[in-house]
Amino acid sequence: MYELIQITENCYYIQSPAKVGLVKLNDEDVCIIDSGNDKEAGRKIRKLIDANGWKLKAIYNTHSNADHIGGNKYLQSNTGCKIFSPGKECAFTRHTELEPAYLFGGYPFKDLRHKFLMAQESDA
């Protein structure tokens, strides 16, 4: 698990529970598409990036579900990368209690406030 799979010269994906895309921008800089489901996923992704001598410049989130933005905070804190989320998903990435609130129809009770529905907030 967490294996880097090359697709084309500059495109890869990271085999993980929630697939993560990786694009080489040049010989040293990369961006990823989504960041896995939590801090541990972020740590493993960073380890792969570091092992290849690359620098993470950006994360592009496809949507704000926790399994796609869970590694954002860890990666941004440790690399200084920028995070981009489309439209209203940006608000859900900054205020992660919105995801379970949206699903539940009101402020989520304690049983809905866990890492599978709420990632750590990140600055998208």
Structure tokens at 25: 């921008």
Instruction: Note the CATH number of domain 3-112.
Output: 3.60.15.10
Rg (CA), the chain: 14
Residue 103 has pLDDT above 90, yes or no: no
First to last CA, the chain: 27
Q: List, for residues 50-75, the tens digit of each pLDDT value.
A: 999 999 999 999 999 999 999 999 99
Residue 12 has pLDDT above 90, yes or no: yes
Sheet architecture: strand order including 55-60: 3-6, 11-15, 20-24, 29-33, 55-60, 82-84
Of residues 112 and 41, the one with the higher pLDDT is: 41
Residue 34 has pLDDT above 90, yes or no: yes
CB count, 10 Å around CB of 64? 24
The owner of tokens 């209203």 is 88
- Quote the pLDDT of residue 13: 98
- Quote the pLDDT of residue 77: 98
- Quote the pLDDT of residue 112: 86
- 114 SS3 class: coil
Calculate the average pLDDT of the chain: 95
- Give the residue extent of every domain in the chain: 3-112
Of residues 111 and 34, the one with the higher pLDDT is: 34
Rounded mean pLDDT of 104-114? Answer: 87
Specify the pTM: 0.93
What is the Cα–Cα distance from 49 to 32, expressed in whole angstroms?
Answer: 10
